[in-house]
């Protein structure tokens, strides 16, 4: 269950626009699906978050939730 909760937390950050590419069109289900797929890539390490591209809010979210970044 730890993996699922971590992916959910990362996806919530994507939906909030803290990092990753937030989908701007489509249904809420499509936007959430896009965020979860990105979160899974981030969790696996296939998609790396660059700390230089994060806002202060995004960096705080990442640090608070112990999400791995470069």
Q: What is the mean pLDDT of residues 18-22?
A: 77
pLDDT value of residue 10: 92
Residue 69 forms part of a structural domain? no
pLDDT value of residue 39: 92
For 19, residues 6+ apart whose C-beta sits below 8 A from its C-beta are 13, 49, 53, 54, 58, 62
Residue 28 forms part of a structural domain? yes
pTM: 0.83
Residue 15 forms part of a structural domain? yes
- The domain tally of the chain equals 1
Residue 47 forms part of a structural domain? yes
Max mean pLDDT among 29-33, 50-54, 58-62 falls in 29-33
Percent of the chain with pLDDT over 70: 94
CB 62 within 8 Å of CB 6: no
Average pLDDT, the chain: 86
Residue 70 forms part of a structural domain? no
């Amino acid at each position: 269950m730890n993996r699922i909760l971590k992916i959910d937390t990362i996806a919530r950050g994507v939906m909030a626009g803290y990092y990753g590419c937030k989908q701007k069109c489509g249904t809420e289900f499509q936007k959430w699906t896009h965020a979860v797929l990105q979160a899974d890539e981030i969790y696996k390490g296939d998609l790396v978050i660059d700390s230089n591209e994060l806002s202060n809010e995004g960096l705080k979210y990442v640090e608070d939730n112990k999400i791995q970044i470069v």
